Every structure is written in structure tokens, then in C-alpha cells.
A and B are shown apart, each in its own frame.
Chain A
Amino acid sequence: MTRPRRSSALTGAAAAAALLLLSGCSSPAPSGGSAEPVEGGTLTYASGDAEPTCLDPHVGGNYPQALVSTQYLESLVSLDEDGKILPWLASDWEQSDDGLTWTFTIRDGVTFTDGTPLDAEAVRANIAHVQDPATLSSTGYLALGKVANAEAVDARTLRLTLSAPDSALLESLSQPWLAIQSPEGIARGMDANCAAPIGTGPFAVEAWDRQSSITLVRNDDYSSPPGDASHEGPAYLERIEWRFLPDSASRYAALQAGEVDVIDNAQPDTIVQAQNADGLQELDAPRPGSSNRLELNSGKPPFDDVRVREAFIRAVNVDDAVQGLFLGTAERSYSPLSSVEPLAYSQPDLFEYDPEAANELLDAAGWTERDSDGYRVKDGERLTLRLPVSTNQSIPAEQSLFEQLQAGAKDAGFEVVLDPLDLSSWYGALGENDYNLVSAPYTKVGPDVLRILYESSGTTPAPSGYFANHAQVRDPALDDLLIRASQVSDPDERAALYEDAQRMVLEGFYILPLYDQQNTYLLRDDVQGLRALPTVSAPTLYDTWLDR
């Protein structure tokens, strides 16, 4: 079964109906008489992602922050469904010929919800904030890696000077982790700004009841919707109750019971159930950036041997596992990039399940003996692979998938040690290079994510301590490809370079692609006009209204 992999923006109720139908043939169409959006009401959103420790996505920079901050913060640019850059808080921009100077025109007449006007100086302050090590930014910091200087030329003009050309700059700037906040808000200090960042978005943070919910209220002066929004002026919804319900069963039950209107992180079994249930709709919006994949740590034995890497990949039957666990809600990936990335390159033949080939490869690599438990041994060392699993990040189905891979790998003679860890210990295990396999999806707009994930310098930690190249790929040829790709301005050349780079990653057996980063929303039938912003697929409730 193939389904459209990409949710799109709504341009009206009819489009909404069409969109919502994308998710499955059984989803009912919204009732016919609901063409006119209704003003007002409170929408309850239940998030299964971890509760952010800071509502300012500059700090750290993870997906939970992106989800909620999309409601109150806006970026300089956005994307349309086809991946084309749309103006947002920046109305226009141009690039110098050498690609080292970018000049942005800042949208006029926009004010932050604290009354501060949006101008070039405010944007400059934001860039400075992200680049300040004290902010502990990770995602945003990496995305601005080539921005050497930012300067407010006048009230409406911002000039960025780059250290090297950056073909991904606009994609980077579209991300919520580089959203623009009121400089007055930032000046309050990290604690205050984390509690209630001030943006230009359609909603504003009213209260944050930790461990429970965030209350967002409508910004009645809102004036800056992106071009693909379906209306102008303030949002329809009066309020959003943004709850944190980490338990997926409770979350789905709450949706069923009508306690909440929208849930994210819907699990495969509930998606299937919702498809067959009355009154629920589905919005499937895979995240951009990397696919969900297992990274094979080539930086240490036994995966420093490409034959062992290939053997592992051949030994496990991912297709059946994905089919059984995801019940048709997820499709197998064979690419380093998410299927929503236009430049994603797939090579399925590299990942065919072939236990015999796996055994031969291992024999060839010298892992010829087996011990009493059936695991391969070389020089008295067991062929053991440690797989730290972040219980906060890996959904249960994924954890079960690892178990199934573990069972399959055992037949080939691999001992896979699953090590469920809390987030902190998981980071710790990565930091100590104490892993052979790891699943760490990375969300970023555009193929430039490949540079973050596979360039040699990605083995060095960012200020927050995070490093992204978990496969520990250190290949000068690949580095060269990725750097060139990030600097060329010709789209075709860029596409070709990224395809080469992806092929190198795949053929080097550095990763085992599994499926897209699952990102499915379930909503009640009376929720209309919900869409995922095409940047990082976070939901935007600006066009949303309640048909009740």
C-alpha cells in the first residue's frame, strides 16, 4: 500500500478534507456544512514528547521544543509543500555572488507580543543569542555554523557574513530552532525566557504548569502568517491547552474519550485502530532530515571492518519487523534521508535480507568460531554489539524492532546487547564511545543534514556536548563531497553531489536505514484546518478551528 508521504498545507476547508483523507481510506470526511471556519474555543493538544525543560528552542534545540514553539515563534523563512523557500519574517533576501554575504529584508509592521517591534536589530540579537555559548544551543548553533557575522544595516536590513558559502542557509533558517524572539524577552535572562519566550506567533505563552501543561492564548494583533497559510489576521482558536501525556495508551484513550482534541506521537497500533474508528482522523507528517536508521559505529571494532558491518545489515530482517510492528503505518526506508527530502536517494538492493551472505562475510572477516551460546568468537572475543537505547527517544515499537533484530542477528552469530537507558545515561554512553550501534534520528530541513551526520568534524562535540556523527565516518572523500555540496549554488550540481554522498554512506554500510521518522497526529473529527508546517512537520494551529 502506498500513501502520500507528505502532508500539505490547507487552503480551505475542502483542502482540509482532502488532506485529512490522505491518511487512510477509512478516515471519514468532515461533515459537509463546515465550510465556514468558526471563531473561538479551546483546543487541547496532548503531546507524547518529553516536556521541554525550556520553551526557548534556541536553548538546546530538540523536537519537543519545536512542536510547541511553532505556536508562538516564527522563523525568517518557511517552506512550501514542494520544499520551496517561502518568505516569512523576512520578506526578501539576496545572496552575493561569492555566496558569502546574505542580505535579508525584515518584514515591516510586525511586533512581538510584548510590544517590541520586529526589526533587523532584533534578528541580529537572536543570531547572537544562538551563537552565544552560554545559551547552550545545539541544533541552532550547528545550523549557523558558517555565519561569521550578523549586522543590522538599518531597521529593515540584516546582513549575514559567512565563512564559507552555505547552500543550506535558508533551509536552516526556516527551522523553529532559529525562530525569532523578542530581544527584550531574551534580555530577561535564561530562566525567564525559558519559562515564557516572547515571539511574533499567532499564540503567546500564558502559563506553564510544569509536569502538566502549557496554556497558550491567541495573539489578537497577529499579522505575519506565512504565504501558505489559509487565512490572515488572528488565529481562530482562542486558547490552546498543551498537555504532556507521555503514556501513549493514556494519550490515545484520552483522545478517544474526547478529553483531548489532538495527539502527537500516535503509536502504530492506535493509528490502525483510529483508521477503523469513527470520529478520528489521522495526519501523517514524517519529519525531514535523516531517516530513522541504526548507525554502525565504524570507529571501533568490530564495525571498523566493513565486512562485519555488511554482515550485520544482511543478517537482520528489517522488512518483516517493520511490517509486523508498524502494521503498515510505516514504510521501509533505504536512504539516509527522510522520504520528504526531495534529494533523498535510495538503494534497496544493499539492504536485502541475506543470512547466508552474512555468514560468509563474517567467516571472511575472521569471525569463524562460535561459542556454546552460538555467538561468533574471534581471538577469544565474542562478537558483541552494544546498542544503547534511549527509552525517552525510541518509541516502544522501535524498541521491539531492536529486539527482533537482536534475535535475527543472533542466528548469524552476533550478540546484540540492548541497553535501555535514560536520556542522560544514553548521552553518557555515546560520549564515552561505548556503543556499536545506535539509533539517533536527526531532524533538519534539507539534505545538509548529511554534512552534520557524516562529515568527520561531526565527531567533535558542539558546545552542548552533542556530536552527531555517531557512525564515526571519517572519510576525506565524503567530507569533500559534503562540503562542496553545501557551498554550490546550482541546484542540479547540488543534487548530484548529495546523491554521490548518500551512495557513499549507503555503500560503506555505515547505516541501516529503517523507516522515516514517524510523526503521526491523530485528531478528532471536529478539529478542522490542522496542518503540519512543511519545515520540520511540527503542527501549526493557526488555521485550526473547532467545528462544534
Chain B
Amino acid sequence: MSDLEVSARLARSGVERRRARGGPGGGRAARRLPGAGESAAALVLLFLIASALVPQVVAPVDPLAISPLEAFRPPSAAHPFGTDESGRDIFSRVVHGTGPSLLLGIAATLIGLAGGVVLGTAAGMLGRVVDFGVNRLLEVLFAFPGLLLALFFIVIFGPGIVTATIAVGVSTAPGYARIIRGQLLTVRRSAYVEAATVLGRGRWRVLVRHILPNTLAPLFVLGTLGVGQAIVWAASLSYLGLGAVPPAAEWGAMLAAGRTYISTAWWLTFFPGLFIVLTATATTVLGRRLQQRVREQG
């Protein structure tokens, strides 16, 4: 079980319960995630996307412009999030850090997904022997829980933003693989795949028309759920000094740089951390909603 599987499982169960409760009196929308939360999540994401695409519009101040004599200014009108140890505007840095941070999270997620797809489809498609082998491999990989695989990876290939990204991706891959394999087996054994066989469709055609689309379509949703966690893990690695490094305006790196000053200048760490939390929360809420939509549609 991975964070991902827990997330995916959460997004799933609600829908199934709602669907099962078709009977009279089943308050239809009673337990949907509240609309307010979703709207807030959408707003946050809009802001994040804007920050990632056009940071100079959202925060015109140069995030790298140092001003040594204005260091450690607490939040004020001029610097809503304060300034850091080199007098850089933290708001601007956080906004400009959105792109790299999201990119890092997305890249890690894509790596995880890619690994997951390869392992998962191999297990699901290439017969029992491969399935058995991949399953054992996954069990072994799952024995490196959480950050352990990422840390082990970093030991071998050295720290840094690229290895940290790959490490987070690699450590999420087994989770994706297991979900994809499960999905693939469900689809392969589904009545509609059988129906296509009965209609005389060939293996290849069934694979391309039915199995792959239905297996891979949920990946987008899964990825959305995963990005938030990937960002959190990557930031943790950065915070531990094993990921992105200053002066990059990446959230994890900002946290790592700011942690020294935590007792005197909390705003150095608080705001980048807040953005990580917001991102992870918003993507989770959005991912759940997407998953519910997908499943409610069938």
C-alpha cells in the first residue's frame, strides 16, 4: 500500500457507496465533498497555474534580486511575505518557485507513472510468469517504505534536484504499478472485454480499443492525486538537504535555506511551506473530484 493507493482508494469508495445507495431516501448529494472546498481548491490551483506560467505578472519583483541591507524584514505591505536572509522578496520567490516546484512534482509523478505503467502492464498483460515476477518485485520494492527507497536511491546516485526528482518518482512507481495492474486485470476480466471477444474482435483490437483506454484513462486522475504527495516528499528531501539547493526559488530549497532562521524569522519557512500545503491539498481535492466524476460517468 502506498500513499497513492490510499488516496485512490479514498476517492473510489465514496463513489461506490453513493452509487450503491440508489434506493429511496438515499440523500443524493448529501456526502459529496462540500462545494466550498472544491471552489477554494479550484481558486488555489488557478493561482498556482498563473504563478507557474506567468510569475512575472503575479509577482513583478525579481525573485533573485538581492538587497543585503533589507534582509530579514517581516511581512509588510511592501513585502507581503517578508524578505529572506539576502533581502529577497519572499512572496516573489514563492510565486516564481511555483513553476519549478510543480514541475518537480509533475516530473516525479510522470516518472512514477511511467515506471508504474511499464511494470503494471507487464504484469497485467504478459502472462502469469511475468505477473508473478513483477508482483514479487513489487513486494520487494514495497519493503522500502516511503522515503526509504528515495533515500537509498540518493545514496547510490548522490543528492541534488535531479536525483531527488527521480528518487521520488522511483519510490512512487510501485504504488502506481500495483494500481495499474489491478485496473488492468479488472478491465481484462470485465464483461465488456468479454463482450468484444464474443463479437469476434481480435486480441490486439480489444487491447487497443478497450483494455488500454480503460486502464490508462484513470492515470490522469491518479497523477493529479500523486502530484501533491510528490511535491511534499520532494520538499522533504530538499528540507533534509538532499534535494533542490539554494538559491533556486524552489519551495523545498527555500525551506532548507530558511530552516536555520526559524526561531528568528519564521516567515522564511512558513510561506513556502504554506504553498506546499495548499498545492497538495488543492490537487488532492481536485483529484478526488475528477475521480468521482470519472466513476460516476462510468
Task: State yes or no: do A and B touch (Cβ within 8 Å).
Answer: yes
Contacts A391-B241, A396-B260 given; indicate if A406 touches B247 (C-beta within 8 A): yes
Interchain nearest-CB distance for A522 vs B (Å):
12
Interchain nearest-CB distance for B295 vs A (Å):
45
Contacts A270-B264, A324-B69 given; indicate if A397 touches B158 (C-beta within 8 A): no
Do the beta carbons of A324 and B86 come within 8 Å of each other? yes
Contacts A269-B72, A272-B264, A404-B66 given; indicate if A396 touches B247 (C-beta within 8 A): no
Q: How far, in whole Å, are A248 and B241 apart by their CA atoms in the complex?
A: 14
Interface size class of A (residues with CB under 8 A): 20 to 34
Does any Cβ of B come within 8 Å of A437's Cβ? no
Do the beta carbons of A247 and B259 come within 8 Å of each other? yes
* Chain A neighbourhood of B67, CB < 8 A: 324
* Chain B neighbourhood of A248, CB < 8 A: 260
Does any Cβ of B come within 8 Å of A422's Cβ? yes
* Chain A neighbourhood of B261, CB < 8 A: 249, 267, 269, 396
Do the beta carbons of A407 and B66 come within 8 Å of each other? yes
Do the beta carbons of B86 and A404 come within 8 Å of each other? yes
Does any Cβ of A come within 8 Å of B90's Cβ? no
Number of A-B residue pairs at CB separation under 8 A = 80
Contact flags (1/0) for B217-233 with A, using CB distance below 8 Å?
Answer: 00000000000000000
Do the beta carbons of A249 and B87 come within 8 Å of each other? no
Does any Cβ of A come within 8 Å of B182's Cβ? no
Does any Cβ of B come within 8 Å of A420's Cβ? yes
Q: How far, in whole Å, are A325 and B260 apart by their CA atoms in the complex?
A: 12
Q: How far, in whole Å, are A180 and B282 apart by their CA atoms in the complex?
A: 62
Contact flags (1/0) for A403-438 with B, using CB distance below 8 Å?
Answer: 110111000000000101010010000000000000
Contact flags (1/0) for B241-258 with A, using CB distance below 8 Å?
Answer: 100011100000000010
Q: How far, in whole Å, are A422 and B160 apart by their CA atoms in the complex?
A: 11
* Chain B neighbourhood of A442, CB < 8 A: none
Do the beta carbons of B264 and A400 come within 8 Å of each other? no
Do the beta carbons of B68 and A256 come within 8 Å of each other? no
Contact flags (1/0) for B66-97 with A, using CB distance below 8 Å?
Answer: 11111110000000000001110000000000
Residue of B nearest to A249 (CB): B262
Interchain nearest-CB distance for B195 vs A (Å):
59
**Which has the most chain B C-beta neighbours within 10 Å: A321, A395, A400?**
A400
Does any Cβ of B come within 8 Å of A163's Cβ? no
Interchain nearest-CB distance for B238 vs A (Å):
11
* Chain A neighbourhood of B158, CB < 8 A: 425
* Chain B neighbourhood of A247, CB < 8 A: 259
Interchain nearest-CB distance for A327 vs B (Å):
8
Of A272, A324, A400, A408, the residue contacting B246 (CB under 8 A) is A400
* Chain A neighbourhood of B68, CB < 8 A: 317, 320-321, 323-325, 404
Do the beta carbons of B263 and A422 come within 8 Å of each other? no
Does any Cβ of A come within 8 Å of B159's Cβ? yes
Interchain nearest-CB distance for B164 vs A (Å):
13
Residue of A nearest to B253 (CB): A420
* Chain A neighbourhood of B111, CB < 8 A: none
Do the beta carbons of A249 and B263 come within 8 Å of each other? yes
Does any Cβ of A come within 8 Å of B122's Cβ? no
Interchain nearest-CB distance for A328 vs B (Å):
12
Do the beta carbons of A256 and B64 come within 8 Å of each other? no
Does any Cβ of B come within 8 Å of A273's Cβ? yes
Do the beta carbons of A252 and B263 come within 8 Å of each other? yes
Interchain nearest-CB distance for A24 vs B (Å):
16
Contact flags (1/0) for A237-270 with B, using CB distance below 8 Å?
Answer: 0000000000111001100100000000001011
* Chain A neighbourhood of B187, CB < 8 A: none
Residue of B nearest to A251 (CB): B263
Does any Cβ of B come within 8 Å of A399's Cβ? yes
* Chain B neighbourhood of A425, CB < 8 A: 158
Interchain nearest-CB distance for B162 vs A (Å):
14
* Sample (22) of A-B pairs whose CB atoms are under 8 Å apart: A247-B259, A252-B263, A269-B72, A269-B263, A269-B264, A270-B263, A273-B263, A273-B264, A320-B69, A323-B68, A324-B67, A324-B68, A325-B68, A325-B85, A325-B86, A397-B85, A399-B246, A403-B86, A403-B246, A406-B247, A408-B66, A418-B245
- Chain A interface (Cβ within 8 Å of chain B)? 247-249, 252-253, 256, 267, 269-270, 272-273, 317, 320-321, 323-325, 327, 391, 395-397, 399-400, 403-404, 406-408, 418, 420, 422, 425
Task: Give me 12 other A-B pairs in contact (C-beta within 8 A), A396-B257, A400-B85 excluded.
Answer: A247-B259, A269-B261, A270-B263, A323-B68, A323-B69, A325-B85, A327-B72, A395-B260, A403-B86, A403-B247, A404-B66, A407-B64
- Chain B interface (Cβ within 8 Å of chain A)? 64-72, 85-87, 158-159, 241, 245-247, 257, 259-265
